[in-house]
């Protein structure tokens, strides 16, 4: 392929504009037509699993399961850099990460779809250090970590399909893979944070570092353990939680299918690239 994006015969090569990182329960997306598969080696190693180049209508997208196709990679072991670098190398400009989350507020009820606009990182030892690449580090601006343009497009589509969403929330990212103790959960809630998750860091900020516009679609399966005694991750309540979990996956898929059909051609942001350009301009 030439630098112009043409193949050797002169035809324009189609590239996926959108990448989808599937979280727990989204290890596959059978509603897409898979046109090719690849698992490219990046300078950060191999991504979590094979990346499927999929087609829906006239749109191409790239799909990768964050935890692997058999859900075997723990949150702190996910090769976040390799996943995002592989998507970027395929031509992806926008990334949507799907996640399962717990609620830290009673009004954020299980079954809710939430689009976070802020995160708090409580993890450690993850592959988020640029020094490991042998390159220079950057003081990455992170005041608005999620792409506003992409979030607004998703919120608009949710309205069109009559799917209620919570459009602003702070996600507390814990190390995992264990869940919180009651004391930890109450502390998270007391800080005023809305939902708890294990994978939004460093995925969100690494996307920004690579110049990729990123948004998350999260689904609430349960109340975190410090909020109440029912609808929490506990053997006594797992049947009810799993029913909510299954319903949430269908909601996320419906939202993504509608979004791809209607909004992908209209995406025109580049906020992440603009942040990087502004940063490097300041250094010169």
pLDDT at 276: 66
**Strand intervals (E) in the chain:** 18-22, 33-38, 51-56, 59-65, 94-103, 113-114, 118-121, 170-173, 195-197, 213-223
Tens of pLDDT along 40-78? Answer: 999 999 999 999 999 988 889 999 999 999 999 999 999
CATH architecture under which domain 18-283 falls: 3-Layer(aba) Sandwich (3.40)
The proportion of the chain whose per-residue pLDDT surpasses 70, expressed as a percent, equals 86
Residue 222 among the catalytic residues: yes
Residue 224 among the catalytic residues: yes
In the predicted structure, residue 7 carries a pLDDT above the cut 60: no
In the predicted structure, residue 1 carries a pLDDT above the cut 50: no
Alpha-carbon gap, residue 115 to 252, rounded angstroms: 11
Which of 49-53, 56-60, 227-231, 277-281 shows the lowest per-residue confidence on average (mean pLDDT)? Answer: 277-281
Which residues face 220 on adjacent strands?
Answer: 101
pLDDT at 8: 44
Tens of pLDDT along 202-222? Answer: 999 999 989 999 999 999 998
User: Active site residue: 49, 117, 194, 224, which one?
Assistant: 224
In the predicted structure, residue 10 carries a pLDDT above the cut 60: no
Tens of pLDDT along 182-209? Answer: 999 999 999 999 999 999 999 999 999 8
User: Active site residue: 222, 234, 239, 281, which one?
Assistant: 222
Structural domain spans, the chain: 18-283
In the predicted structure, residue 272 carries a pLDDT above the cut 50: yes
Q: Which residues of 20-35 are buried (b: 16+ CB within 10 A; e: fewer)?
A: bbbbbbbbebeebeee
């Amino acid at each position: 392929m030439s630098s112009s994006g043409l193949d050797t015969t002169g035809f324009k090569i189609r590239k996926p504009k959108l990448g989808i990182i599937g979280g727990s329960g989204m290890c596959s997306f059978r509603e897409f037509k898979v046109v090719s598969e690849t698992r490219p080696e990046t300078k950060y190693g191999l991504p979590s699993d094979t990346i499927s180049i999929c087609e829906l209508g006239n749109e191409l997208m790239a799909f990768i399961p964050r935890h692997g196709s058999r859900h075997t990679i723990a949150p702190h072991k996910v090769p976040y850099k390799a996943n995002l670098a592989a998507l970027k190398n395929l031509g992806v400009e926008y990334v949507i990460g799907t996640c399962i989350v717990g609620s830290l507020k009673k009004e954020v009820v299980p079954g809710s779809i939430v689009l976070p606009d802020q995160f708090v990182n409580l993890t450690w030892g993850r592959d988020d250090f640029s020094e490991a690449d042998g390159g220079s580090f950057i003081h990455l601006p992170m005041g608005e970590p999620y792409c506003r343009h992409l979030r607004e497009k998703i919120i608009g589509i949710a309205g069109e399909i009559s799917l209620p969403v919570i459009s602003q929330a702070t996600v507390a990212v814990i190390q995992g893979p264990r869940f919180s103790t009651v004391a930890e959960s109450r502390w998270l809630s007391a800080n005023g944070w809305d939902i708890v998750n294990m994978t939004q860091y460093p995925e969100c900020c690494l996307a920004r570092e690579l110049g990729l516009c990123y948004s998350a679609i999260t689904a609430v399966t349960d109340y975190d353990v410090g909020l109440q005694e029912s609808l929490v991750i506990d053997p006594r309540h797992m049947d009810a939680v799993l029913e909510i979990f299954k319903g949430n996956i269908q909601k996320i898929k419906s939202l993504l299918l509608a979004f791809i059909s209607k909004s992908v051609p209209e995406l025109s942001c580049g906020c992440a690239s603009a942040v990087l350009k502004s940063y490097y301009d300041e250094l010169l």
